[in-house]
Chain A
């Protein structure tokens, strides 16, 4: 459950802004998966305000994040990624440091 705790702490304790480049790359991936114009996506984009981000898009998006960023998303993590900003902060925390 470490992933679960970690995401909670990121979301509620340290809501830092994710790096701009990571957010824009994730936006590009999501735009391809969901079929929406990338300019409509922001840190706040979420399944609740983006109709194209439905449950099937979410499955493909999670698969694509794993493929593109080389991270593993646990079941608990997957259930806690509520917005594009959440995803960016998660990937930022998980990605191996260069």
Chain B
């Protein structure tokens, strides 16, 4: 079924919602608690439909209207009865600060300052109640901010007078945002939703007087859609990669025919629309979305635009990978997903050609396809309306991801080609200026250590998976030693990319030894082992044992033990002297 749009009729929404409720199979159940200052029920069928389009089957637990504090604070509240996946708090200033707003309109000077103070105290209390609820609730908490009213008691005077309701509302939104940004509570921008629709269209006073629901039918659908876009990224992994066509997508015209001087890309007119699109794409890259190219072109012609056209905003170093050839786009997408190690379901494919879009939709239905509008001025808006690209929280890893690919691109640009001599390879390794540090992990690194034991498949001796609490336990147990390796080279940081866990009980035994694939092929494993052995040589025992557990994926680690002086033992394990002196890695600087 085609996704619902915000201009769907009430009939369509209600029928569809009824059929979702009757058969939610294939959708992930999502129990949403709602505390609102107004009657929120009219929004729910549309919200349910929009969430179903994102693979979520919502059920709603709604507390009585205008009892936000009671609902969030009371341990007997229905919000506490059954475990919720999410709580939605939707306050309006009209209810939350109704009395203060009334005071404001008296225009008495002392009443104005009292009303402003009371409103700010009220919003501070709201933020504090929501934040403390969020600390004990199951699942994330989303809170709405305050939207512009359709009109003000002061009319045009509101813009100037110190009793301005509009100005107070703006200040309170800043207060709320400041308070909530210190917590894990996520804000849904109701103010922006009303602004996009226009306050004159967003409200329906008839609804208010009849049912204490403030919004128009048309806006209700838009607000539900906006809320669904804030909820979905919390439960559905956002897209990780944007794959772009080039001709008439990233620039106007066809590079193979028009040439680098003939394509539309520049400071004015059509060219300016493509520049704006490129800048919008780079903003997604800053959020951790990787940019790739899949284009049917001569690779050299196409890359020349990235390298030489003065108006290009996206440069070759911004691309995590590209396929510029004459293959089918679906084949290129599958190759890119393998190269970047992401599922095709986390790709957004953007192309101007209806034929290419249809080919990808047909062969790879999991891919999100955006066919760019024929008017390039509309491309930015189309890009930003793709819900799969929404994110509501960023980790430091998200922000660093695109940069790591850029660094890797620079490394690759100096890497020797296949078939290079051993001498060329060793010169390359020397030129990297590798530095490693081997040490015990700090307590806040146990999550990353656990993640590496979970995710590393290739260079992993035993593939023993461990959780964060298990790592914490080993770190505080004197019979175990946990080592981590961090690395950098002249291009940048690799971060924490190696883990070694040694059991030092009746004898010394390497329980786990693994390196992230990011750092493989640079001889770092030898330096890592040498550092670990140097540490172990300070304690009892002169022999260290190791174990190799073969898996279908750990081929790269199988020669590690024999090539580093380990010999077979009768019990099927491996052993070598602890003495680390024989292990040399002249191209790696070891920091202590």
Residues of A within 8 A of B (CB): 29, 32-33, 35, 55-56, 59-60, 63-64, 66-68, 73-75, 78-79
Is A59 within 8 A of B9, CB to CB? no
Q: Within 8 Å of chain A (Cβ to Cβ): is B523? A: no
Query: Which residues in window 205-233 of B have CB below 8 A to A?
Result: 206-207, 209-211, 213, 217
Q: Which of A59, A63, A66, A75 has the most CB of B within 10 A?
A: A63
Which listed residue, A29, A33, A78, touches B210 by the CB 8 Å rule? A78
Provide a sorted-by-A list of 19 A–B residue pairs whose CB atoms are within 8 angstroms: A32-B11, A32-B15, A33-B10, A33-B11, A55-B211, A56-B41, A59-B210, A59-B213, A60-B14, A60-B42, A60-B45, A63-B42, A64-B9, A67-B9, A67-B10, A68-B9, A75-B209, A78-B206, A79-B210
Q: How far is the CB of B39 from chain A (nearest CB, A)?
A: 9
Q: Which of A29, A74, A75 has the most CB of B within 10 A?
A: A75
Other than A33-B11, A75-B210, give 8 A-B pairs with Cβ distance below 8 A.
Answer: A60-B14, A60-B45, A63-B217, A64-B9, A64-B10, A67-B11, A67-B217, A79-B210
Q: Within 8 Å of chain A (Cβ to Cβ): is B18? A: yes
Q: Is the interface of A mostly helix, strand, loop or mixed?
A: helix
Q: How far is the CB of A94 from chain B (nearest CB, A)?
A: 15
Residues of chain B within 8 A (CB-CB) of A67 are 9-11, 217
Q: Which of B15, B41, B217 has the most CB of A within 10 A?
A: B217
Residues of chain A within 8 A (CB-CB) of B14 are 32-33, 35, 60, 64
Q: How far is the CB of A87 from chain B (nearest CB, A)?
A: 15
Residues of B within 8 A of A (CB): 9-11, 14-15, 18, 41-42, 45, 206-207, 209-211, 213, 217
CA distance A78 to B206 in the complex (A): 9
CA distance A78 to B209 in the complex (A): 11
Give A28's nearest chain B residue, CB to CB: B11
Is B207 within 8 A of A59, CB to CB? yes
**Number of A-B residue pairs with CB-CB distance less than 8 Å in the complex they form:** 43
Give B213's nearest chain A residue, CB to CB: A59
Q: How far is the CB of B19 from chain A (nearest CB, A)?
A: 10
Q: How far is the CB of B9 from chain A (nearest CB, A)?
A: 5
Query: Considering the complex of A and B, which 9 residue pairs feature the smallest CB-CB distances, nearest first?
Result: A63-B217, A64-B10, A75-B206, A63-B10, A32-B15, A33-B14, A32-B11, A35-B18, A56-B41
Residues of chain A within 8 A (CB-CB) of B207 are 59
Give A64's nearest chain B residue, CB to CB: B10
Residues of chain A within 8 A (CB-CB) of B42 are 56, 59-60, 63
CA distance A73 to B18 in the complex (A): 26
Q: Which of B14, B18, B210 has the most CB of A within 10 A?
A: B14
CA distance A59 to B15 in the complex (A): 15
Q: How far is the CB of A95 from chain B (nearest CB, A)?
A: 18
Residues of chain B within 8 A (CB-CB) of A59 are 42, 207, 210-211, 213
Is A66 within 8 A of B41, CB to CB? no
CA distance A33 to B207 in the complex (A): 17
CA distance A66 to B209 in the complex (A): 18
CA distance A61 to B14 in the complex (A): 10
Is A64 within 8 A of B11, CB to CB? yes
Q: How far is the CB of A13 from chain B (nearest CB, A)?
A: 25
CA distance A27 to B366 in the complex (A): 40
CA distance A75 to B207 in the complex (A): 8
CA distance A73 to B41 in the complex (A): 21
Give A34's nearest chain B residue, CB to CB: B14
Residues of chain B within 8 A (CB-CB) of A63 are 10, 42, 217
Give B208's nearest chain A residue, CB to CB: A75
Residues of chain B within 8 A (CB-CB) of A64 are 9-11, 14
Give A57's nearest chain B residue, CB to CB: B14
CA distance A13 to B42 in the complex (A): 35
Give B41's nearest chain A residue, CB to CB: A56
Q: How far is the CB of B64 from chain A (nearest CB, A)?
A: 14
CA distance A29 to B211 in the complex (A): 21
Q: How far is the CB of A38 from chain B (nearest CB, A)?
A: 12
Residues of chain A within 8 A (CB-CB) of B10 are 33, 60, 63-64, 67
Residues of chain B within 8 A (CB-CB) of A55 are 211
CA distance A33 to B217 in the complex (A): 14
CA distance A63 to B10 in the complex (A): 7
Give B42's nearest chain A residue, CB to CB: A59
Residues of chain B within 8 A (CB-CB) of A33 are 10-11, 14
Give B205's nearest chain A residue, CB to CB: A75
Residues of chain A within 8 A (CB-CB) of B210 are 59, 75, 78-79
Residues of chain A within 8 A (CB-CB) of B206 are 73-75, 78
Residues of chain B within 8 A (CB-CB) of A29 are 11
Q: Which of A33, A56, A59 has the most CB of B within 10 A?
A: A59
CA distance A67 to B45 in the complex (A): 17
